[in-house]
Structures are given as C-alpha cells and as structure tokens.
C-alpha cells in the first residue's frame, strides 16, 4: 500500500489519505478568516491533527490469495491554519506514515516516511454567490518525501480553488464541495526516480564515466486535481460523507535516443508517437463520522485509489481494486483550536 499512498500524496497535491471524507479533500470550501479578538484560539481556527490506522480487506479476509501481503499502517497528519490580515489564511500540512508489516517491502521495514511539506496562502474573503462560499489560493510543496526527492523535485508550485454550499433541511444538513488544484513541479531532471548510486558506463570515446541511473519513467509536467464531495448530517454529532477525486498528470515526453556505434556512426531511435502522456487516476472515499466532543471526532471509512482504466483500456471499478489500493480506516481527528479552548476553560475554572 505504501506505494499507492505515496503516489497519491505526490500526484494529488491535495488530499491526505484517511481523514473524514470531506476533510480529506483538503476542505476546499472557504471559511471566514477568524478575528484575532474573538478568542485566543481564533487565529488558528480550523487547525487539526489526524491520527489514523488502516488495513486492507485482503489482510482481514485473505480468501484464496496465493501470496498474502498483509498491511497495517499508521498515519499522522498535522494541518495548522493561521489567520492573516485582509481575509487571508495560511494553511500548512505535514504527514508521517508508518507501515508495521511491510510484507512487500522488507528493505524499509517499519521505516517512518515523511510526506511533502505543504504551504498554502488562501483568500477567504470572496462574497457568497447563491449561498456558495468560494476560496482561491497559491500552493507550494517542499520535497521532504522520498518519492519527491527521487523525482528530483526542487519545489512544486500551483493554484487552488474551492467552493462549498450548505443546505439546512428538516431531515438534516447537507453540504456539497468542489475543489480544484493545478501544479507544476520544478525538477532537476524530467526523468523520475534518479537513484543515488552510480554505475560505470561508456562514452563515445570509450572512456569510463559515472552515470546516474534512473527508472526511465518520465516525471509529470503538470498535475490537475478535481475533487467532488458531499456530506449528510442527520444530527449535529453524526455525519455521512463521500468524495471522489480525479487526478490527471501530463508526463514529459520521452526523448529520442541517439546510439553511436564503434566507428562513430549515429542511429536515432525516435520515441513512440503512440506513447500516452496522460496518467489518470481516481480516489473514492466514504466514511461515517461521529463527534465525541467539540474537539475530537472519530471516522470509520473505506477508500480505493486506482487508475481509471484497466490494462485492457476498459474503465475499472471505481469502488474497488485488489491489493493495497483498497483500505479500511479508523481515524481520530483533533480540532486543535477547540481543544485549546477546552483546556483554557478548565484551567480557568480551577
């Protein structure tokens, strides 16, 4: 699963892996920037800490698998927010993942893996139109993850936009969200996964050189992510949420290769014109969320991350994929501003 989780975090530049469904879509809807005079915690309103554990259905129900690959994973996501003047807001994110079983990757057994550092500046002061609250922002991703460093990323820059519409009815509250994020990674190499070790190769004049090795897989030139989410809350504490995220990645074109023979002749091998440069994936998430307190909520849910197309070109099942791409999760989300207020009130009473 680690591969699919890391790929999703790198490519999406949006969502975490396993928070409550709507929050996992990076809360694309706007929130009014809190006034610093409202309370001490108002300046960091919306800051959360997610503590998550997950496993794959194949781990619990092995069925007829010839080679079982169990997985049990912890995931931590710290997402601070800070109110800035003039309806601007700073949003950060830092993830840490720990796979306990690592049956498919014994080399990195129980190795904590950092995700990239997210830094967003979002404008929340757009007036509502037909009840829709919108936001726009700029995003920068800093390459802390192993995957980003192997892709030779220097920084990933992009723009974000989001919208949220709430509906109050007699049978409960509904919420619809839409999020968009486009980004470009600045890299030192357009071919990804450059390996640190080197090997001897031969140049045109047959003198030995040290050549960096790479996987041959081209990096993405541009990423576009669209998220669609919905939530239904029959009560103030209980809610049902679901979201679907489409991830489009346009890879750099494979370059032509010039081969030289022993007598100095050159042969140009052109890249295939049928090589597909667009990589498209989908991420379906559904969860049941319950607020234990104002500052803590529990989420039980399910998600699947997979390519939209099967190897034969047909559309795949968006709600299931075998192996680690499908996971069941139980997460705890701490609202840090509400937790601060609860502790401050208790201290004041004592």
* Per-residue confidence (pLDDT) for residue 254, from 0 to 100: 77
pLDDT at 71: 85
pLDDT for position 267: 76
Distance CA 294, CA 298 (A): 12
Question: What pLDDT shows up at residue 2?
Answer: 41
Q: What is the pLDDT of residue 279?
A: 86
pLDDT at 321 (0 to 100): 81
The DSSP 8-state label assigned to residue 104 in this structure reads T
Q: Are 36 and 42 in contact (CB under 8 A)?
A: yes
Q: What is the pLDDT of residue 25?
A: 37
Cα 319-324-325 angle, rounded to 5 deg: 35
Please give the span between the terminal C-alpha atoms of the chain, in angstroms, as a whole number. Answer: 47
Domain boundaries, the chain: 2-349
For residue 257, with 0-12 CB atoms within 10 Å meaning exposed, 13-18 middle and 19 or more buried, which class applies?
exposed
Ranges of residues in the chain with a pLDDT under 70 are 1-40, 63-67, 103-106, 192-216, 264, 271-275, 323-324
pLDDT of the residue at 50: 95
Reported as type and span, the H/E element at residue 230 is strand 220-233
Can you say whether residue 27 is alpha, beta or left, with left for phi > 0 and alpha for psi between -120 and 50 degrees?
left
């Amino acid at each position: 699963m680690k591969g699919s989780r890391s790929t999703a975090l790198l490519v999406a530049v949006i969502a975490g892996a396993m928070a409550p469904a709507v929050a996992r879509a990076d809360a694309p809807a706007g929130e009014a920037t809190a006034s610093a005079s409202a309370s001490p915690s108002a300046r960091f309103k919306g800051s959360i800490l997610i503590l998550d554990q997950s496993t794959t259905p194949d781990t619990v129900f092995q069925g007829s698998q010839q080679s079982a690959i169990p997985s049990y994973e912890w995931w931590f996501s710290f997402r601070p927010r800070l109110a800035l003047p003039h309806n601007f807001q700073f949003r950060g994110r830092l993830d840490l993942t720990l796979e306990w079983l690592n049956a498919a990757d014994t080399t990195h057994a129980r190795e904590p893996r950092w995700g990239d550092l997210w830094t967003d500046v979002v404008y929340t002061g757009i007036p509502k139109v037909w009840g829709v609250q919108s936001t726009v922002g700029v995003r920068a991703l800093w390459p802390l993850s192993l995957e980003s460093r192997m892709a030779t990323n220097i920084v990933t820059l992009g723009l974000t936009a989001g919208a949220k519409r709430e509906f109050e009815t007699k049978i409960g509250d509904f919420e619809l969200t839409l999020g968009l994020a486009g980004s470009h990674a600045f890299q030192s190499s357009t071919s990804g996964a450059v390996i640190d070790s080197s090997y001897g190769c031969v140049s045109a004049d047959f003198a030995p050189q040290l050549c960096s090795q790479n996987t041959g897989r081209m990096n993405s030139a541009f990423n576009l992510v669209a998220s669609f989410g919905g939530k239904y809350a029959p009560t103030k504490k209980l809610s049902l949420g679901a979201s679907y995220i489409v991830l489009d990645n346009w890879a750099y074109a494979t370059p032509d290769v010039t081969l030289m023979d022993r007598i100095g002749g050159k042969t140009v091998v052109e890249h295939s014109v049928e090589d597909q440069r667009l990589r498209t994936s989908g991420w379906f998430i559904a969860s049941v969320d319950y607020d234990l307190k104002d500052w803590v909520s529990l989420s039980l849910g399910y998600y699947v991350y997979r390519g939209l197309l099967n190897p034969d070109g047909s559309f795949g099942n968006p709600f299931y994929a075998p192996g680690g791409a499908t996971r069941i999760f139980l997460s705890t989300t701490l609202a840090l501003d509400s937790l601060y207020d609860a502790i401050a009130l208790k201290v004041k009473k004592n």
